[in-house]
Chains A and B, each alone.
Chain A
Amino acid sequence: MSPVVLFDAALALGVLGCAALALTLRDRTGTVAAFMLTGLLVALSWLRLGAPDVALAEAAIGAGLTGALFLRGARRLGPLRARPPAPAQAAAAALGAAVLSAALLWAFATAPAESLYPPRVAAALEDSGVSNPVTAVLLNFRAWDTLLEIAVLVVALLLVMTLSPPRVIPDKLGALVQPFARIVVPVAVLVAGHLLWQGAEAPGGAFQAGAVLAGAGLALVLGGVRVDRRVLRRALTALALAGLAVFTLAALASQAVTGALLGYPDGQAKAWIIAIEGALTLSIAATLCLLFTGYGRRSAR
């Protein structure tokens, strides 16, 4: 058997096994670790399926930051109490999973062999201002969808503001975190800038860059950076909301200039896209950091 087939088989089995572990382990840290491992393997699967953009997003958000957010939630919830689900509950879940699997199988079996979109995107790519088809779709042809996604992120942030879960005060991590942060944070900022810039012609873009930047921000927060908390929170909130504001203003401005919502003027598409993506990167990074640190006045202990 060829090594590629073996690789794909091991990967598929690994994803299923880790997902099962994430659901069945009776230990919160264990389930979070299994979930992270599932994310790593899913990113590898996207890579094998030829979707490096999705793989990057999964790597940055699924495997990196979600683990930290889940651990924060797990600490608030406390230890897991052993309580197996009721038989009716288990049966209903099994039925739902079976129906969903059957629907997916049916959709997979009846899907046309050729997708309709790639040729149309390829035909219009010339006018989009960028040469990466994924960025062209996300920020030019279907920029409207991306605008709504950013609005969803803002809604998540507003929910955290309203519910104000207790603030997390990280333990002091000691002297060794400083040299760590001095190396990792600058490199992460460099990587984020690289991802943002190369999003125009290769896999990358605002979401991935924002997630990497948020990772650097979390390393600073957890490492105990000395900044006034209230000032930091205000600055981050302003940044988080600025992304949606800039995107909306760009939509209105393009409406005024060209008469089409998010239809960029001829020849200037790339400049508009880079400006919007730059604002989005900072805004996504600030939002992810705030989702971790929270707004609550009470402290967690």
Chain B
Amino acid sequence: MSLVATLLGTAMIAAGVGFLLFAALGLWRLPDTLSRLHALTKADTAGLALVALGAACLSDTPAALLPLGLCALLVAVSGATIGHLIARRLMRRPAA
């Protein structure tokens, strides 16, 4: 494994974990439910995609790319859909 790939992978993972920590911070500190959903759908997706990409850089076998890529895809699609659905429900029935 080349030094460049190791450095790049570690840097991306560090950035991804940073995004995840900020997502948690945002979920905690943002003032209302609709703004908190931003933390869930954006920071979260970016964080996991960076972590998966970094882990792919660090892995020895290209076979690891498939599960990691699918992970990032599934989390991105799930987070976006759930965020949208929750927001839609809140707009229609503010008490929920």
Contact = CB atoms under 8 A, between A and B. Distances in A.
The B contact surface, by secondary structure, is: helix
Interface in B51-96: 70, 73-74, 77-78, 81, 84-85, 88
B84 A184 contact: no
Contacts of A176: 81, 84-85
Interface string A162-190: 00000000000110110110011001000
Interface in A187-206: 187, 191
B70 A177 contact: no
Interface size classification for chain A: 10 to 19
A174 B77 contact: no
Contacts of B73: 183, 187
Contacts of B88: 174
22 contacts: A173-B85, A174-B85, A174-B88, A176-B81, A176-B84, A176-B85, A177-B81, A177-B85, A179-B77, A180-B77, A180-B78, A180-B81, A183-B73, A183-B74, A183-B77, A184-B74, A184-B77, A184-B78, A187-B70, A187-B73, A187-B74, A191-B70
Closest 5 CB pairs of A and B: A180-B81, A183-B77, A176-B84, A180-B77, A187-B70
Contacts of B81: 176-177, 180
A250 B22 CA distance: 54
Contacts of A191: 70
Contacts of B74: 183-184, 187
Nearest to B96: A29
Nearest to A183: B77
A187 B73 CA distance: 10
Q: Of B77, B81, B84, which is in contact with the most chain A CB atoms at under 10 Å from its CB?
A: B81
Interface in B24-76: 70, 73-74
A74 B17 CA distance: 34
A100 to B, nearest CB: 34
B41 to A, nearest CB: 12
A183 B73 CA distance: 9
A191 B78 CA distance: 16
A176 B83 CA distance: 11
A181 to B, nearest CB: 9
Contacts of A184: 74, 77-78
Nearest to B84: A176
A176 B89 CA distance: 13
A86 B88 CA distance: 41
Contacts of A173: 85
Nearest to B85: A173
Given A174-B88, A187-B74, 4 more contacts: A173-B85, A174-B85, A176-B84, A180-B81
Nearest to A176: B84
A75 B77 CA distance: 26
A177 B74 CA distance: 14
Contacts of B85: 173-174, 176-177
Contacts of B70: 187, 191
Contacts of A183: 73-74, 77
Nearest to B77: A183
B96 to A, nearest CB: 10
A187 B71 CA distance: 10
